[in-house]
Amino acid sequence: MINIKNNLEYNLLRQRILGGAITGIWKKDTFFIGESSYPVMNYNYITANFTNFEKFAFPGYVPPINYHLSGYGLSYNKALSAFLGESTERYSFSVLYQNIKHNIIYSDYQNLQKRDCKIVCVRMNDSLNLFL
């Protein structure tokens, strides 16, 4: 049976796991909490920026990643849940290359044709990238 926990206590635990001065995913392990949105109805929101983790995901090349993360909700828990979800989603996407780079083969079209496998080719610049 699946047990889904989305209460404030569990979300604060998730926040502590994703945060931290050394391993946290938010810049300087800080975020802004607000609860006023005048002139529209009041709602809670949490915002933060990513830390500069991309230097570890892309050694030798630091792409300009400067995402602004946010979560909104009628209650603090709903805003926190959305904020944690967006943070996790963006972090996962940003480190995707590090997890799949061993499956990418850079080669020309003639060499790729010689491979006997199902492939997806993406043309980038003057070469083809092979995703197995």
| pLDDT tens by residue, 64-104 | 555 678 899 989 999 999 999 988 888 887 777 777 878 77
Please report where in the chains the tokens 């800080």 appear, as a residue: 30
Is there a contact between 45 and 74 (Cβ–Cβ < 8 Å)?
Answer: no
Instruction: Return d(Cα 33, Cα 79) in angstroms, integer.
Output: 9
Question: Does residue 31 surpass a pLDDT of 60?
Answer: yes
Token pair of 93 as six digits: 């996407």
**Of 68 and 129, which is predicted with more confidence?**
68
The pTM assigned to this predicted structure is 0.66
